[in-house]
Amino acid sequence: MKHSITVTRPDDWHLHLRDGAMLQAVLPETARTFGRAIIMPNLVPPVVTASQAQAYRDRILAALPKEMSFTPLMTLYLTEETDPNDVAQAYETGLIKAVKLYPAGATTNSASGVRNFENVRPVLEKMAEIGLPLCIHGEVTTHEVDIFDREAVFIETVLDPLRQSLPELRVVMEHITTKDGVDYAHTGGDTLAATITTHHLIINRNHILVGGIKPHYYCLPVAKRETHRLALRKAATSGDPRFFLGTDSAPHLDGDKLSACGCAGCFTATNTMPLLAHVFEEENALANLEAFTSKNGPAFYRLPENTDTITLRKSDTQTNFPEKIETENGPVTVFDPGFPVFWTAD
Ligand code: NCD
Ligand code: ZN
């Protein structure tokens, strides 16, 4: 059994940092371990224009502790009013690395998202032309569709037709949660990739609902049945370049999670790498961890890999992760995998 493994410093290809006091509290949790992260634009109001992305990047860098180095990779939130030229210019200047598509109403702060895909066609065509990736929250939002089926229905009714009509568009299927997502990602060539979160490798829907409801396991897309979790594990640990880490670490104050209408999101920034080492070891795939966390993402985004490394170590004593991260407005609970972990990252 291997007791330590050194990997190229990882990146997080899907991260929520929020703003203000929350940003201040959660940023070090990511920057301690990760070199870069794709920063989600679902603030209130959303990050829609290049100038908003620039200002948000400045706030992130201002919140970064001096001893840490971290590069936020900015994104724009696609709306039906998005200007293709503003997007192209933000990409050409190096400010943004992707555009984020939320179907309207799909998740936290997605009300300004896309309702009619015809209205964003000019932006998508521009993106296809210049090679700018589109990160997609792949769930339909129609009330008739069961929440556990929303990803599979999205792939069939929205994603596949979109890719057929614009095959050059580079697409990241974000936080896939189903075998359908894994299978579809396999059908794509080099214009298609998928991110997988830490928590979806660990929990299935029973963890949320059996023995009492567990608000800290509730996120979107919601965890599915066990067969899907196993398909995600197989994909993530396979080394296949199409799959890479996007934690979707999504902090909410405990008061907003532990509520009659609790927010969606698991906060995994603090312990993601030790949890992944545990999962990859269980799958006898520690040798593929680096591909998932540090190599496949930069390759898809056409960025250099980080040049330094981190070391994951396994000890005989259980790792004690902090239960909560304190913010000025109250605590945020760190994702608890529900089993002992013996790995640390440094
Ligand atoms: C995210 C959030 O809280 O912003 N929540 C989540 O459950 N993942 C939004 C998202 O990525 O869907
Ligand atoms: Zn997210």
CA of 28 to the centre of ligand 1 (A): 19
Condensed to tens digits (0 to 9), the pLDDT of residues 16-36 reads 999 999 999 999 999 999 999
Give residue-wise pLDDT tens across range 144-192.
Answer: 999 999 999 999 999 999 999 999 999 999 999 999 999 999 999 999 9
Q: Answer yes or no: is pLDDT of 1 > 60.
A: no
What range does the domain containing 331 cover?
Answer: 4-345
pLDDT of residue 105: 83
Per residue in 34-43, pLDDT (tens digit) is: 999 999 999 9
Active site residue 86: no
The DSSP symbol for 329 reads: T
- Candidates 12, 240, 248, 254; catalytic one: 248
Helices (H), the chain: 20-31, 50-63, 84-92, 121-130, 150-154, 160-165, 179-187, 205-209, 226-236, 254-257, 272-282, 289-290, 296-301
pLDDT higher than threshold 60 for residue 14: yes
Confidence of residue 108 (pLDDT cuts 50, 70, 90): confident
Residue 207 has pLDDT above 70, yes or no: yes
pLDDT digits 0-9 by tens, 109-146: 888 899 998 999 999 999 999 999 999 999 999 999 99
Domain holding 209: CATH number?
A: 3.20.20.140
The answer to whether 127 touches 99, Cβ cutoff 8 Å, is yes
Q: What average pLDDT does range 68-86 have in this prediction? A: 97
What pLDDT is stored for residue 2 in this prediction? 62
How many angstroms separate the alpha carbon of residue 249 from the centre of ligand 2? 7
Q: Which residue(s) pair with 134 in the sheet?
A: 99, 171
In tens, the pLDDT along 217-227 reads 999 999 999 99
Question: CB under 6 Å to ligand 1: residues?
Answer: 16, 42, 107-108, 137, 219-220, 248, 250, 264-265
108 torsion bin: left (phi>0), alpha (psi -120 to 50), beta (else) = beta
Q: Give the Å distances, CA to CA, from 295 to 80, 197, 234, 269, 325.
A: 34, 16, 18, 19, 29
Percent residues over pLDDT 70 in the chain: 99
Nearest CA to ligand 1 atom 4: 108
Please tell me the total count of domains within the chain.
1
Tell me if 15 sits within 8 A of 38, measured CB to CB.
Answer: yes
Nearest ligand 1 atom to the CA of 252 is 3
